[in-house]
Each structure stands twice: as C-alpha cells, then as structure tokens.
Structure 1
Amino acid sequence: MFPYKTSFILQRNQGSPLYLQLANQFIELIKSHKLPPKTKLPSSRKLSELLEVHRKTVVACYEELLLQGWIESVPKKGTYIKATLPILQQQEFLEEEDVQSTCANFSFEKRAILERKTYETEEDWVVLDDGISDVRLTPLEDIARTYRRLSTKRSTINALTYGSTMGNYKLRSVLADYLNETRGLQCCEQNILITRGSQMGLFLSSKLLLQEDDIVVVGETNYIAADVSFLERKAQLIRVPVDENGLDTCKIEELCKKQTIKAVFVTSHHHHPTTVTLSAERRIHLLNLAKEYQFAIIEDDYDYDFNYNHAPILPLASHDTHGNVIYIGSFCKTVAPVFRIGYLIAPKEFVDEAAKARRYIDRQGDALLELVFVDFLKSGDLDRHIKKILKEYQSRRDLFCQLLKEELGTYFEFEIPKGGMAVWTKLNQKYSWDEVSQIARKHKLEIGDWQRYDYENIGHNAIRIGFASMNEIEIQRLIKRLKTTMQELDINEHN
C-alpha cells in the first residue's frame, strides 16, 4: 500500500487551506509517477484517519482534484487516479535547486545586442552612474498626499477601468498647456501620447518609422538605448561627428544628397553622452534639411529641466512648422525613475498610429498615477520641486568638477557641463578604462559598463560620470576612491 501517512506534510499555520495543500501534494505525486493512473485512493474516512485531519478536509481535496481532472469517481467502486492521464515526461533532477530548469525546451531568438552588463555590489560600494536623479529628494509627501486624496474621491472610480491607449485626457490637456508655456511648443492633447517613460516613446517611434535597411543618422557617440532600438528594427545606422556645437549637420546634408535618410536622432539640449548643446545655427539647418528631404527628427529631450548657466534652450519641436519632429520626454529624471510618466509629441496621425501600436505592448498606462501628475502640474508642485533640485544639483556639479580638477586633473579632461546630471570625462590616453575598472573594484568602486560609451570603438576614452545622485559626502568619497585607484595604477605602470 502507498505510504500516505509519510508522503504528505500539512502545515496548519500556512496561509493556504489544508485541503489545497493536500490537493497540491497529490498532484505532485501524480506528476512524479508515484501515484500512476488507475491507482485506487483511500476513502475519505480512511485517509482522514491516516493523516489525522477532519474528513471534510479530505472530501474537499478530492472534490478539488476531481474538478481539475486528476481523479475520477467510479460508482460503487471508489476514487481512482484518472486512467486517461498521459504520463508526464519529466527530467530527472539531481539537485533540489535545479527543479526549476533554466533551459527552455523550445527554440527562440536570442539577441546579443540586448545584452547589458550588470554588476553586483555591496552596500558600502560606490557605483558610478551616467546621470540619474537623487531619489532621496523625491517629493514623496506631496505625491502621497495627492494619491490619498484622489483615492477617496468617488469620481476616481471611473479611472480604474480600461481607458484610452493615448493616456488620461486630463493629463494630456494639462501637459499640452504646460509644455506650450514652458517649452514653446504648439501642441494640443491630440498631439500627445502618454508613455511609460521616454524609452517607450523611442520604441514606438522606431516601430512605426523603420523597416529593414532604413537609414538612421546618429552621432559618432550616441545614447546606446537609441542605437539598440534602431538596430532592433534592423535599420542601418550612419554616424556623423559630434563637436562642441553638437551634431555636424553639414555632414547630414552631404548624406541627404547621396541617399534616402529616414530619420535623424538627436539629444539637442544636452547631447548624450557628451553633454554638448546643439547650436542655434545647426538647429535651423537640421529643421530645414528635414523639411527638404522629408525625414523625421526624433528629439529625445531627456533632461530639459536641468540648466545651470542659462535658461533652458527651446527644443527643436518648438520651431517645427512642417511636422517633422517627434518630441520625446518624461518626468522620470525630474521626479524619480519609478514614476513612469513620459510623453511622445508628434503630428496627430503619427500619434494615433503610435497609440494603436501601444495597445499591444502595454494596453494603457497607470491611470491613477497620471491623475496624480495632473494635480502635480496644476498645483505648481512640479515647478517648486524643479527649483529645489536645480539649486542642489548645481551645487553638486560645482563640487564634483572642482574636486575632479584639483585631485585628478592629471588623469582626466572635461568641460564643466552647462546642464544635465553628468560630466563627460576623458581619461588620459596612457590609461584604459579596463585597467581602471579592474583596480577600482579592489577599492569598492564600480565603474560599470564603460564600453557602452564607445559602441563603434572610436577610441575617445571617455565616459559619463553622474554627479546628481550623490550628496557632498558621497562625491568626496567617490573622488577619494578614484584617486586611490589611479595612484595604484601609476605604481603598477612603473613596476
């Protein structure tokens, strides 16, 4: 007889009811062939005595197994493991932790281009980033207060069902007014698609615009996520130089005269990764080229709010009168990465099509969060938050650049950025970031995926180092560990 008494472990203090625990363990015994098809099961009374549980528990267990199709009841004969169950072919696992296999038993496409290096670090490590906000400065009290107030309003119920794939209408309307006022745009709610951050806008734009072998012009140094998005569409990337005035639009004009350009990607405000600003002359030139040669300009304005030396420069989209610019932005860097509120602004027919495509990857956004941002914009809380962090980030930029020059000026070259959250830092050519990275880990400093800044192996030997996410003490600690690293590297060079 099957050892029922020793084959089941029932825990009364678990959240799961006893009958479900029993049913689930029966299923595992059936799947592992320990209880094969046609096996007769004990009566509910007998099994309840063996397991020392109430008979109703066993009855409920058998009813559950019957409903799921694992057992069958034969009148006047008893209860049996279902005779028609096929034998489940299972892998013999040697180790308990291997029960969940890591290998799929089917073929699927693996894309090397999607690989992104990750690094495990401990709490006391310093980890470089490429310019992200300090989440400790997030106005959580303001946001939480608005969440609570909206959650208790009866009218909020209407926002909890399926809504527009374009995003909450109120947010699109308020956002249109806000961007028209602050960034010189001339859009309305029909020109706006709310996204879950700027990356979704970039993905949707690529999906709609690009076919295999279409040409996209990008900078010699460029935002790696944009490169990946375009290459995923099997587009052809043509790179043009980036200097102190941004993308070289004369080179773009030369390309336009020779072949058909489908799109130009630009981070005009602070070029990613070098932080330089696209000059006024080149902005006008690029818009004129787009009009003449009918290509799209994908403008990713990822850090518009962060300017320290002057007022923000209006985006290309504010000067676009011919419908060439797809303008992408978000509040993820301004407020916190977890609040996935972004936007794609373009001619209505493009936005309508993007909304159709969005339906099949993300039916709609977070409607309640979108309502919170309606209030966040209208109340002035966002502007007050921007003023607060702008002052703080400028102070951090100044301290970081001062210490980098004073303590490490012989190792690194850089220009003090006029805005943004990072410094484009060029390492002396006698050293390599690979060497720096290896030694830095000995001093609990993680440089990270430095290779992504030179996807084409140009050899510029520079990376972005973010300063906004670190307070004064943390900046000093970073400089100290980086200095220790470089000094050890010097010693190794001389030995």
Structure 2
Amino acid sequence: MQPFASLIKPDKTSKQPVYIQIANQLMELIRQGFLQPGFQLPSSRQLADSLNIHRKTVVRAYEELLAQGWVESRIGTGTFVAAHLPEIIPQSPLNETMGHIDSNKKAGFTFDQKPHLNRAVIKNNIKLHLDDGFPDPRLAPLEELSRAYRTQLLTGNPYTRLGYGDTAGSYWLRKELSLYLNETRGLKTSPENILITRGTVMGLYLASTGLLKSGDSVVLGELSWSSASNNFLQAGAKVIKVPVDEFGINTDALEKICQKQSVRMVYVTSHHHYPTTVALRADRRIHLLQLSEKYGFIIFEDDYDYDFHYLSKPLLPLAGADRSGMVLYCGSFTKAISPAFRVGYLVGSENVITYLAQLRRIIDRQGDMMLENAMAELLQNGIIQRHLRKSLRTYRTRRDYFCDLLQTELGDYLNFQKPDGGMAVWGEFDKNINLKELSAKAIQNDLFFSDGSENNSPAEIRNATRLGFASSTIEELESCVGILKKLLTG
C-alpha cells in the first residue's frame, strides 16, 4: 500500500481540486502502463489514510475515473483498472530523476520546418524607435472608436449582433468602404467587390492559397516585403525577382520573363514601393496593366499607405485603371490607426471575392463584427477621414524635420531621398558601417531600428534599412538621431 500511495502526490495549495489531481495522476499511471487492466486499486479508506486526506475526496476521484471509463467497480469486491483498456508495457521507471521527454516543448512526431517561416516577431518595447514605418497610435481616434464599439455591443438585436455573420465581413463596413474607396481612389466598386480581412497579410494568404498552385511563378521586386514572398513560397509557388530602381519595378525585365515562361501573379506596391518608398512611374503602370492583359497574370496591388502622400494628390491605384479584372487590390487600417486593429480589405471581381470568402471561412469563420461595424460608423461619420487629414499634416512635419536631421547630423554616414509619401525613409549606410552591430548597440541605448538584414541577398549586402519617423514626436526623433550620431562618431 505504501509504495503505491507514494506515487500519488496531491498538492493542497494548488487551485485544482485535490480529487481531480488524484484522478489525473491515476490516469497517467494507467497510461504509462504501471497500472495494468484488472489491477485492483486500494479502497477509498486505505488510500485516504495513506494520503492523509478525507475519504470523500478519494471517493470523488474514483467516481471521476469511473465516469471516464478508466476504472470499473465490482460490487462487493472493489475498484479495478478497466479490463477493456489495452495492456501497456512501461517504457521507463517511475523515477523523476531518470528524466523524460518534455512533450510541452517537443512533439513526438516529426514535421518539416520551412526556413522562410523562421522570422523574428516584432515585439518592440524599447523606449525609442525608428521602426518599419508604423503610425503613431497616440494620434488615433480611440475615444470615438471606443464609443462606437460600445454602441455595437449594447444596441440592436443581440442574436443578430453577437451571432454569426457574413464571411465576407460586415455589410455595413463593405458599403462604407466601397463609397470611400470609390471617392478617394477612383475605384468603381460595390460591397460585393470587397472582402474584409484581418489586415493585408490575410489578403495575401487567401490570394496565395486560393489562386496559386504548386509550381506557379510569382514575380516581385528584388527588394520587396518578405511577408509577401513568404506567402507565395508557402503556397508552393516559384518566386522570381525583377530589378527595382528609382521608378519602381522594371516592367521591361518583367516582359522578358513573360516571353520565356508563364507567370501567374505579380506582386507590386505601386504607390510607395516597399521598402524603398519610390512610386511606380506612370509609363510603367500602363505597361504593367498591358502585360497583365496580354499574358494573363494576376496583379496583386498592395497599397499599404495610400493615405499618406505629402507632395500633391496621390497617384491612383492600378485597380482604378483595370478594365479586364486582372487586379486584386489590398489595403488596411493598420497604417491609418494602429496595427492592433486588424481590419483590412481585399478588392476584386465579384466571383473572386465570393470564392476567397468561402476559403476564408475554413480558416477564420468571420472577423470581429463589433470592430468592423464600429469602423463603418467612423467612416460614415467622417471621423476616419478627419483623422487621416490631421495625421497627414503631423507626419509631413515629422518627415521634414527628420530628413533635415539626417542630412545635417548623419549626412556623412548614409544616403537617402526624402520620400514623397509613406512613414519611413530608405537609408543606405556607408559600406564601412556594420549595420547589424550598429543596431545592436542602439538597442543597448534604448533605440530600436532594423539592421536591414532582410533586405540583403546572398549576392548583395545592401547595408540599407527603413527608418520610420511617423510613430515618433519631434523630440523623440531628435533623441534617436542623437544616439545614432554618438554611436557613429564615438
């Protein structure tokens, strides 16, 4: 009796009831084969005395095991490990000092770990930051959004409001988005042309999974967003890179590729090329649309920061000039408000949107209907539009000040062009500067910026990175540049 009881170790300080602990530990002994089918368990009184607990606790533990089919009770005889369970040969002694595989850390089965998924997750909690080009959430209309969200939670028919909705997203938001996109971007959409997503990445994933087959060719710039290429690789596509210059992707190089092989999709950030921030020139826009019609490839247009253009009226998206239904247009509110609010949109022909909404259903039944309706209310009332106008003025001031600082304080160490729009500067550092070491030293001084390694390739170390200015105040930008200057000159 005593050796058996020593295997059961209830913790009376745990929040889990003691009877559940005992039942779980007995289950584990059965699973490991140390209690075989037909083994007679001690009586409830015996086990209670050995463990110094109340007999009713053991009775409840046995009842739990009985209910789950681990044990069986024989009237007048006692409680036994269920005879129908398979016999298990113990694999190792019940000695904690012998060590066991930690199944919480390592699975017992094997799987392929794809290298393109091995990317660090940005969880920046450092005081100062020259990030990838994020908005300043301190400017976001959070009070208006919280009121709208509360309204959605508390008013209307709760069965409808809090139940399942359309997999394409809130109809109200799609309606308001259609009006907004048609007015600001020259599109000609209806709500049926819009699928609400949880940001641009979901739009990319749905398009890659639903429209690409293994072996399809996808073309994107030599410098491009890694999340895009990773989605294409995950879908089994072959990624082909084309040169990028001061006018965006080289469409002549793209045409030469199309002449030699079939291309299924071209990914482009036409308004502000990622990461270099340059705009795709008008003649290349026309050429790209012509090539799409001629060779039948899909254009995935990622318009991640259309609303932030500082010189004049921004260039209209390719989607606005698409007459053949070849463009999928994607954007989100993460740049307009904050990355925490995962509301994006994918725009395309009705049959494609219907199909991708069906695909979305098997990975994410629907989005946050409360948030989507709250965003619809802010669009309808013009609150988001006013916020964007205010943010545009603020970000333009920060861009100008930051670029002046870079030129006067760090002009000997990096080259850059003042961006016409967006939230970041593309900085090319002197080749003698080890950007990875500089980034590491900056973190030690409470400043985060990317070391630019994801912009490199085996053939070329570009020694360049994006330096985001929008999320920092004038004073914070001064501190950032001051730290960089000290590290570079010190």
Aligned to 1:22: 22
Following superposition, the deviation at residue 195 of structure 1 comes to 1.0
The 3 A distance-change label for structure 1 pair 21 and 7 is: closer
Q: Which residue of 2 aligns with 1:150?
A: 152
Could you report, residue by residue, the CA deviation over 1:15-74 in whole angstroms, capped at 9, with x for unpaired residues? 444432332333344445665554433433454555565544333222111112222111
User: By how many angstroms is 1:220 displaced?
Assistant: 2.1
CA deviation after TM superposition for structure 1 residue 287, in Å: 1.5
Query: Does the CA-based 8 Å contact 1:426-1:460 persist in structure 2?
Result: yes
Contact 1:266 1:297 in 2 (8 A): yes
For residues 306-330 of structure 1, the C-alpha deviation after alignment (integer angstroms, 9 at most, x for no partner) is 1222223221111111111100111
% identical equivalent positions:
44
**Do 1:71 and 1:79's aligned partners in 2 also have CA atoms closer than 8 Å?**
yes
1:252 aligned residue (248, 251, 254)? 254
Q: Is 1:106 the counterpart of 2:129 in the alignment?
A: no
Superposed, 1:433-444 pairs within 5 Å as 433-444=435-446
Cα distance in 2 for residues equivalent to 1:140 and 1:447 = 27
C-alpha separation between the residues in 1 aligned to 2:246 and 2:90?
64
Q: 1:293 to 1:429 in 2, by over 3 A?
A: same
Question: What CA distance in whole angstroms lies between the structure 1 residues aligned with 2:149 and 2:249?
Answer: 42
Distance 1:10 1:154, change over 3 A: farther
- Output the aligned Cα RMSD: 2.8
Q: Kindly tell me: are residues 372 and 69 of structure 1, through their superposed partners in 2, closer, same or farther at Cα, counting changes over 3 Å?
A: same
Would the alpha carbon gap of residues 257 and 9 (structure 1) be closer, same or farther in structure 2, given more than 3 Å must change? Answer: closer
Amino acid at match of 1:171: L
- The alpha-carbon distance between structure 1 residues 438 and 182, as it changes in their structure 2 partners (threshold 3 A), is closer
Counterpart amino acid of 2:61?
A: C
CA contact (8 A) 1:10 1:22 kept: no
**What is the number of equivalent residue pairs in this alignment?**
486
Q: Match of 1:78, as an amino acid?
A: G
Q: Deviations over 1:175-196 (max 9, x none)?
A: 1122112211111111111111
The equivalent of 2:88 in structure 1 is 87
CA distance in 2, matches of 1:431, 1:446: 17
- Which residue in the other structure is 2:179 paired with? 177
Q: Are 2:2 and 1:11 equivalent residues in the alignment?
A: no
In structure 2, the gaps of 5 or more residues are: none
Q: Measured at CA, do residues 382 and 62 of structure 1 come closer, stay the same or move farther in structure 2, by a change above 3 Å?
A: same
> Partners of 2:408 and 2:165 in 1: how far apart?
55
CA distance in 2, matches of 1:90, 1:420: 60
Farther-moved stretch of structure 1 (281-290 vs 94-103): 94-103
Match of 2:355 in 1: 353
Q: Does the CA contact (< 8 Å) of 1:117 and 1:449 recur in 2?
A: no
Inter-CA distance 312–120: structure 2 relative to 1 (3 Å threshold): closer
Cα 1:455–1:57 change in 2 (3 A) is same
Contact 2:132 2:450 in 1 (8 A): no
2:300 to 298, 301, 304: 298
Which one-letter code corresponds to 2:70 in the other structure? W
**Structure 1 length normalisation: TM-score?**
0.89
The residue identity in structure 2 corresponding to 1:68 is Q
Letter aligned with residue 460 of structure 2: I
Q: In the aligned structure 2, how far is the partner of 1:32 from the partner of 1:248? A: 63
Rounded to whole Å, the distance in 2 between the matches of 1:313 and 1:344 is 19
Query: Residue type matched to 2:105 in 1?
Result: T
Equivalent of 1:427, from 422, 425, 429? 429
Name 2:485's counterpart in structure 1.
483
CA shift in 2, pair 1:137/1:48, >3 Å: farther
Report if the CA contact (8 A) 1:93-1:99 is conserved: no
Structure 1 residue 133: deviation in Å? Answer: 1.8
Task: Please say if residues 126 and 448 of structure 2, whose CA atoms lie closer than 8 Å, have aligned partners that are also in contact.
Answer: no
Aligned to 1:328: 330
8 Å CA contact retained: 2:203, 2:345: yes
Q: Measure the CA separation in 2 of the matches of 1:109 and 1:229.
A: 16
Contact 2:38/2:82 (<8 A) preserved? yes
**Contact kept in structure 2, 1:424 and 1:465, CA below 8 Å:** yes
**In the aligned structure 2, how far is the partner of 1:391 from the partner of 1:156?**
40
- Following superposition, the deviation at residue 456 of structure 1 comes to 5.7
Range with bigger deviation, 478-487 or 29-38: 29-38
- 2: CA distance between counterparts of 1:54 and 1:70? 22
For residues 120 and 291 of structure 1, what CA distance do their matches in structure 2 show? 42
- The residue correspondences of 1:48-127 to structure 2 (distance < 5 A) are 48=48, 51=51, 53-83=53-83, 84-87=85-88, 99-117=102-120, 126-127=128-129
User: How far, CA to CA, are the matches of 2:185 and 2:100 in structure 1?
Assistant: 55
2 CA distance for matches of 1:243 and 1:5? 73
Question: Cα gap change, 1:16/1:470 in structure 2, threshold over 3 Å: closer, same or farther?
Answer: same
Following superposition of structure 1 onto structure 2, how do residues 80-479 of structure 1 map, counting pairs within 5 Å?
80-83=80-83, 84-87=85-88, 99-117=102-120, 126-455=128-457, 457-479=459-481
Q: Distance in 2 between matches of 1:186 and 1:95?
A: 69
